Chains A and B, each alone.
Chain A
């Protein structure tokens, strides 16, 4: 790995103070901030996501890693130029209208941040207007989460709203959501796990649409 091993390890071990120290040392030592993000923090978060998907890490560890990474991002982000960060794309993540579950959605937010994307966390109970506003602010991928069989149908409305806009992709996930359901409602993608969401977003932005 070309980046800073200490920063990579600190994120992986969810050690907030060490992340802050390693980022500061990197910045002070002249390492390009884009490299701190893309070569150290992003690979560490990818590793964390893979371990979670493999059942080796659990939600508490993911939450700690997210906090540690966020502390690093708070330093790095203001220093990033648009070309360093914005090039990967802007993604908005929200739990759909009527649904207040956010543990899974928060993991998706954190994995996408850890994947180097600019992420807008839309929170819970998101209406079409909320997603529209996110698109107006530059998001090109919308991630919808739902935990209730009674709210997952709202995803169809979100997909319908943006179907005619080729620049916007809508991808879906959450416990009751299946690939078949995603295909049924015409979503541009489906992710079973938070770490898979990063890959699906990346595929969407690259122009291939796995679930449609």
Chain B
């Protein structure tokens, strides 16, 4: 590529980044940014099967880049087909159906939630989780979700040891590859990587990965205070994961996948007593550190929009799934940028003309004053039609141009340390597995630079923490 070409691509990238970040701060950019969350659609577009993109992340990355080159999109997720078989096989992970192994090759990977009788955490294990979430994940949860890893106390096995080594190496390899992917998106198509970092609500973590939804419903009836204590114990750890995986430049938001914290999955009282009080402080603190959170509000959260209004202006980007995007705009549009709201049903099963009509309406009403990002309601799987995504893109470019829009770089909020960085009462600090104090007690009196020894210990120990919390949150 020539130097001049590089310059043009870099200018395009800068333009798109400014457009995207301006809209996310609820501002009015030069035009409506487009940021489609394309998952298995990328495979379809690039001519791969679901099996290929799940088993071979290079192909998944290539498919995402192909879409970024072929469509005029401002930002994409570097790989929305985020499960890589290398990882799941290394650990013998039980909760994924993998294309070509558990499901047909042309069906997307899928998370399989066990029933309440097979939940990965039992109803009487709350105290253990609360006392030390990180230790609980290693000692109790991991051996249950993995077909290879042994329980503490069981005889170690060759396959069990291998699983941990391979799992950790696979994670390093996979995460490391994202840096190159993002750089290639930037220089090959001038596309912004849409999100950085991950957050999930304590309540959802309990429902999705520990107790199962039905189990958690029972617990909410039989031991609601234990559930609350567990949510509170998880808070500092989930905050830590979000903060340490966030964009250090504070440009793109942290992805927050919202599953079953809304009515009718919970009652309004349960939302008020358990879900929201253990989410809100985290979002506020992330914002104090300059990080926006993308509320990917799966389903319809219409009963809770007033609660979301309690958050500081601009602190979140609110993604609309099955809710009425026009209604959400009326109720939240003055405070936060919105994204999504274009029904997947339209994109998959209706003619392009209907997609255009709907997008135009959204642009006219929801995007009228800025603060809107074009996207489908839910992630787009391989049923999405290419011509419909093209219609969504072209319509946005045609009608989504603002007169007098600005592309101002986002203001950086004040940084202040809050209570969430603290222990939260659990035996192991967020970010660590074995505290330095414990290790130091087993060492002779240190000579020379003792701080250096401690620093190295803490850095390496934190990798053990990253490993287990990433399994829990990202895979």
**A residues engaging B (CB < 8 A)?**
52, 55, 58-61, 63-64, 98, 100, 103, 148-150, 152-153, 175-176, 178, 181
B217 on the interface (CB 8 Å rule)? yes
Q: Is B266 in contact with A150, judged by CB distance below 8 angstroms?
A: no
Q: Is A176 in contact with B345, judged by CB distance below 8 angstroms?
A: yes
Q: In the complex, which residue of chain B has the Cβ closest to the Cβ of A125?
A: B103
**Given that A60-B217, A98-B107, A181-B345 are contacting pairs, would A175 and B264 also be in contact in the complex, using a CB cutoff of 8 Å?**
no
Most buried by B among A58, A61, A64, A181: A58
B199 on the interface (CB 8 Å rule)? no
Q: Is B344 in contact with A60, judged by CB distance below 8 angstroms?
A: no
Residues of A within 8 A of B221 (CB): 60, 64
Residues of A within 8 A of B322 (CB): 175
Residues of A within 8 A of B112 (CB): 100
**Cα–Cα, bound, A100→B107 (Å):** 12
Q: Is B267 in contact with A100, judged by CB distance below 8 angstroms?
A: no
Q: Is A61 in contact with B349, judged by CB distance below 8 angstroms?
A: no
Q: In the complex, which residue of chain A has the Cβ closest to the Cβ of B303?
A: A55
B434 on the interface (CB 8 Å rule)? no
B220 on the interface (CB 8 Å rule)? yes
Q: Is B349 in contact with A59, judged by CB distance below 8 angstroms?
A: no
Contact among B107, B213, B348, B378 for A103, CB-based, below 8 A: B213
Can you list 13 residue pairs at the A/B interface with Cβ under 8 Å? A58-B270, A59-B264, A59-B265, A60-B265, A61-B267, A63-B214, A100-B97, A149-B348, A149-B378, A150-B108, A150-B381, A176-B344, A181-B345
**Cα–Cα, bound, A60→B110 (Å):** 24
B383 on the interface (CB 8 Å rule)? yes
Residues of B within 8 A of A176 (CB): 343-345
Q: In the complex, which residue of chain A has the Cβ closest to the Cβ of B380?
A: A149
Residues of A within 8 A of B343 (CB): 176
Whole-angstrom distance from the CB of B50 to the nearest CB of chain A? Answer: 10
Query: Which DSSP category, helix, strand, loop or mixed, fits chain A's interface?
Result: loop
Contact among B103, B217, B267, B381 for A149, CB-based, below 8 A: B381
**Cα–Cα, bound, A103→B343 (Å):** 22
**Cα–Cα, bound, A153→B383 (Å):** 10
**Cα–Cα, bound, A150→B40 (Å):** 11
B356 on the interface (CB 8 Å rule)? no
Contact among A58, A63, A103 for B263, CB-based, below 8 A: A58
Residues of A within 8 A of B344 (CB): 149, 176
Chain B, range 97-133, C-beta contacts under 8 Å to A:
97, 103, 107-108, 110, 112
Q: Is B265 in contact with A149, judged by CB distance below 8 angstroms?
A: no
Residues of B within 8 A of A181 (CB): 345, 349
B382 on the interface (CB 8 Å rule)? yes
Q: Is B263 in contact with A60, judged by CB distance below 8 angstroms?
A: no
Q: In the complex, which residue of chain A has the Cβ closest to the Cβ of B108?
A: A150
Q: Is A52 in contact with B264, judged by CB distance below 8 angstroms?
A: yes
Whole-angstrom distance from the CB of A27 to the nearest CB of chain B? Answer: 28
Q: Is A100 in contact with B345, judged by CB distance below 8 angstroms?
A: no
Whole-angstrom distance from the CB of B274 to the nearest CB of chain A? Answer: 12
Q: Is A100 in contact with B381, judged by CB distance below 8 angstroms?
A: no
Chain B, range 336-375, C-beta contacts under 8 Å to A:
343-345, 347-349
Whole-angstrom distance from the CB of A110 to the nearest CB of chain B? Answer: 13
